[in-house]
C-alpha cells in the first residue's frame, strides 16, 4: 500500500512543480504587460497567449513524467505491482467502477447477492421451455402469444427469449397452470416455475465458470502444501476476483436485457458473445491470481526475487530447465519447472550465497 | 530548429543559475528581441535536459521573493555544450559553403 502512496505522492510533486513554474512565469509575464499599460484582464490574456497552449503544458508534463504514462512508470519503479494490496485494491476499484457505470447499481448488487422476495414475487412465475430437465431454452414468440389470453396469468411480460414472467391467481395451483399452458400452446416442454428459482438463471453461467475455476485452483494449490498464510491470502484474493467477476457479469446481463433486440437470434448471439468475452476475462483473472500467488513467499508473502534459470531447455529428461527465485528475507527458494512448482525452505545454495 | 534551443539554453546557463523566466528574457535580450522563445517549449526543453543530466534544478527565491526553480549547468552539460557548439559551427560552415558556391 505504501509503495502505491509513495508513487502517487511523487507523481503529484512532479505535477505541482510544473504548475508552480507555469504560475511563476505567467505572473512575471502579466506584470510585464501591465507595465506596458495593459489592463489586468488584457495582461492576463496576453500572458497566457505568450506562454503557449495546453498542448505545451501536456508536453511539459510528459517530459517531466507528470502525465498518466509517468504515473505508470513511477508505479512500476516503486514495484507497486509487487505489493500485497495491489490486486485487492485493483479489484475493489473495479467493483466500484462497475457500480458507477451500471444503469441500475442496486439491481447489480441484487443480482449477485440475491434479494428478499416481496409479496408480489411470491405469486410470480416464469415460463420457459425446458430440455432434458436440465436447461431452460426460453420461450418462443408463438408460445408467448398463445398464453397471453389465459385468465389465470396476469401482468404477463416476455423478457427477450429467456422467459415470460407473470403473476398467478392465488386460487390456482402451479401444476394446474403448467398443464393449462402446455394445452394452450401445444408445447409439452414448457414449464411454469416459481420466481425465486429463476435467480440462478441470471448468475448461473458466471457461477458455473467460477465453480470450475475454483475446482481447478484447488487441484493446483492444495498439493503445494504451503503455509496457511499463503493459502489464506490466495483464497481471499481469489474470492475478490470471483466477486469482481460476477459483478461484471451482472452488469453485462443488465445491459444486455435492456437492449431491444430485433430478433431472438440476435439476442442469443449477443448473449453467447458476451459469455465468450466473460470467459476470456475469467481466464485473465485466473492467470493474474495464480502468477502473483506463485511468486510470493509462503512465509512472509513478499514477492520472490532474482529469478535464475538452471538446466537446459533441450534436455528436459535429464537436466530440465528450472527457474529459481529467492525470498529476500531468506525464507527459501521457489523452484519452478514447466511441470511443477516447489518451494524449498532454507535449503538452496542460492540462499547461502545471499547470506554470505 | 531541432536542438537549437538546447544549445541556446546551455550557453545562457554558463553565466550562472537562472529561473525559467529569466532564461527566456535573457535569450530575447541577447538576440535583441529577434529570437522569441515560446515559453511553452522552454520548460519541456529544460525538463528534458535535466533528465539527461545536462542541467540541475533547485528551488529558491526570485528577486521579488517568489518561489522559483533555478537551473544551473552540470559538468555533463558543459561537455554537451561543447559538442553542440561544435556541431552548430560545422552546420553553419556547410550552409555558408553552399550559399557561396551554388
- Strand A305-310 to A322-326 pairing: antiparallel
Nearest CA in chain B to A14: B47
Cα Rg, chain B, nearest whole Å? 15
Per the CB < 8 A criterion, the answer to whether B16 and B72 are in contact is: yes
Q: At what angle do helices B75-101 and B4-12 cross, to 10 degrees?
A: 130
Residue-number span of the structural domain to which A228 is assigned: 200-294
Mean of pLDDT over chain B:
88
A interface residues, B as partner, C-beta within 8 Å: 17-18, 20-22, 24-25, 27-29, 50-53, 55-57, 59-60, 62-64
**Same domain, yes or no: A212 and A222:** yes
Number of domains in chain B: 1
**Same domain, yes or no: A347 and A318:** yes
Cell numbers found for residue A247: 459483478
pLDDT digits (tens, 9 = 90+) for B23-32: 988 988 888 8
* Residue among B38, B47, B68 whose CB faces A64 most closely: B47
Nearest residue to A59 via CA among B22, B38, B60: B38
Residue-number span of the structural domain to which B86 is assigned: 4-101
CATH number of the domain encompassing residue B41:
1.10.10.10
Indicate whether A106 belongs to any domain. Answer: no
- Listed by number, the residues of chain B in 2-31 with a beta carbon closer than 8 Å to a beta carbon of chain A are 19-21, 24
Domain stops at, among A182, A198, A214: A198
Per the CB < 8 A criterion, the answer to whether A334 and A341 are in contact is: yes
Nearest CA in chain B to A55: B40
State the ipTM, two decimals: 0.78
Compute the distance between CA of residue A36 and CA of residue A30 in angstroms, rounded to an integer: 10
Residue B21: list chain A partners with CB under 8 A: 24-25, 28-29
Per-residue pLDDT tens, chain A, 356 aa: give them: 677 888 888 899 888 888 888 888 888 888 888 888 888 888 888 888 877 777 777 888 888 888 889 889 888 888 888 888 889 999 999 999 999 998 888 878 877 777 666 666 667 888 888 765 555 667 877 888 888 888 888 888 876 556 788 888 766 787 888 888 888 888 888 888 876 544 444 667 788 888 888 888 877 777 666 678 888 898 899 999 999 998 998 888 888 877 877 777 788 888 889 999 999 999 999 999 988 888 888 888 888 888 888 777 777 667 778 888 888 888 878 888 777 777 877 755 555 555 55
**Same domain, yes or no: A208 and A231:** yes
Domain stops at, among A198, A229, A262: A198
Compute the distance between CA of residue A80 and CA of residue A57 in angstroms, rounded to an integer: 27
Number of domains in chain A: 4
Indicate whether A101 belongs to any domain. Answer: no
Nearest CA in chain B to A64: B47
Compute the distance between CA of residue A71 and CA of residue A4 in angstroms, rounded to an integer: 10
With a CB cutoff of 8 Å and minimum separation 6, the contacts of A348 are A324, A326, A332, A333, A335
Nearest residue to B68 via CA among B33, B40, B48, B43: B43
Per the CB < 8 A criterion, the answer to whether A123 and A167 are in contact is: yes
pLDDT at B71 over 90: yes
Compute the distance between CA of residue A85 and CA of residue B72 in angstroms, rounded to an integer: 41
Domain stops at, among A198, A233, A251: A198
**Same domain, yes or no: A65 and A143:** no
**Same domain, yes or no: A287 and A339:** no
Indicate whether A78 belongs to any domain. Answer: yes
How close A108 gets to chain B, by Cα (Å)?
A: 46
* Residue among A21, A50, A59 whose CB faces B69 most closely: A21
Amino acid at each position: 500500500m505504501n509503495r502505491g502512496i509513495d508513487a502517487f505522492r511523487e507523481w503529484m510533486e512532479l505535477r505541482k512543480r510544473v504548475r508552480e513554474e507555469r504560475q511563476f512565469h505567467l505572473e512575471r509575464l502579466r506584470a510585464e504587460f501591465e507595465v506596458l499599460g495593459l489592463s489586468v484582464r488584457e495582461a492576463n490574456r496576453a500572458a497566457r497567449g505568450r506562454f503557449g497552449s495546453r498542448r505545451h503544458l501536456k508536453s511539459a508534463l510528459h517530459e517531466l513524467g507528470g502525465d498518466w504514462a509517468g504515473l505508470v512508470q513511477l508505479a512500476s519503479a516503486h514495484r507497486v505491482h509487487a505489493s500485497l494490496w495491489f490486486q485487492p485494491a485493483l479489484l475493489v476499484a473495479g467493483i466500484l467502477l462497475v457500480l458507477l457505470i451500471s444503469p441500475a447499481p442496486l439491481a447489480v448488487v441484487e443480482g449477485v447477492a440475491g434479494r428478499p422476495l416481496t409479496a408480489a414475487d411470491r405469486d410470480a412465475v416464469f415460463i420457459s421451455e425446458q430440455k432434458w430437465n436440465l436447461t431452460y431454452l426460453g420461450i418462443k414468440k408463438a408460445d408467448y402469444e398463445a398464453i397471453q389470453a389465459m385468465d389465470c396469468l396476469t401482468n404477463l411480460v416476455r423478457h427477450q427469449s429467456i422467459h415470460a414472467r407473470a403473476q398467478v391467481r392465488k386460487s390456482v395451483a402451479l401444476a394446474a397452470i403448467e398443464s393449462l399452458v402446455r394445452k394452450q400452446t401445444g408445447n409439452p416442454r414448457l414449464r411454469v416455475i416459481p420466481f425465486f428459482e429463476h435467480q440462478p438463471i441470471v448468475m448461473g453461467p458466471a457461477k458455473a465458470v467460477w465453480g470450475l475455476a475454483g475446482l481447478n485452483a484447488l487441484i493446483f494449490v492444495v498439493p503445494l502444501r504451503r503455509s496457511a498464510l499463503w493459502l489464506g491470502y490466495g483464497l481471499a484474493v481469489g474470492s475478490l476476483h470471483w466477486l469482481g467477476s460476477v459483478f461484471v457479469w451482472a452488469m453485462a446481463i443488465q445491459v444486455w436485457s435492456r437492449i431491444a433486440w430485433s430478433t431472438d437470434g440476435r439476442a442469443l448471439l449477443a448473449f453467447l458473445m458476451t459469455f465468450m468475452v466473460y470467459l476470456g476475462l475469467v481466464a485473465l483473472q485466473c492467470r493474474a491470481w495464480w502468477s502473483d500467488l506463485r511468486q510470493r513467499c509462503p512465509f512472509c508473502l513478499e514477492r520472490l526475487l532474482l529469478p535464475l534459470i538452471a538446466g537446459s531447455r533441450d534436455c528436459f529428461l535429464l537436466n530440465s530447465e528450472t527457474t529459481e527465485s529467492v525470498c529476500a528475507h531468506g525464507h527459501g527458494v521457489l523452484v519452478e519447472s514447466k511441470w511443477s512448482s516447489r518451494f524449498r525452505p532454507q535449503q538452496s545454495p542460492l540462499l547461502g550465497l545471499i547470506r554470505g | 530548429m531541432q536542438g537549437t534551443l538546447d544549445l541556446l539554453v546551455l550557453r545562457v546557463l554558463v553565466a550562472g543559475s537562472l529561473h525559467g523566466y529569466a532564461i527566456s528574457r535573457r535569450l530575447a535580450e541577447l538576440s535583441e528581441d529577434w529570437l522569441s522563445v515560446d515559453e511553452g517549449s522552454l520548460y519541456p526543453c529544460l525538463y528534458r535536459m535535466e533528465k539527461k543530466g545536462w542541467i540541475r534544478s533547485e528551488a529558491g527565491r526570485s528577486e521579488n521573493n517568489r518561489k522559483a526553480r533555478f537551473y544551473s549547468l552540470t559538468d555533463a552539460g558543459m561537455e554537451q555544450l561543447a559538442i553542440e557548439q561544435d556541431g552548430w559551427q560545422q552546420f553553419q560552415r556547410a550552409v555558408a559553403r553552399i550559399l557561396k558556391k551554388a
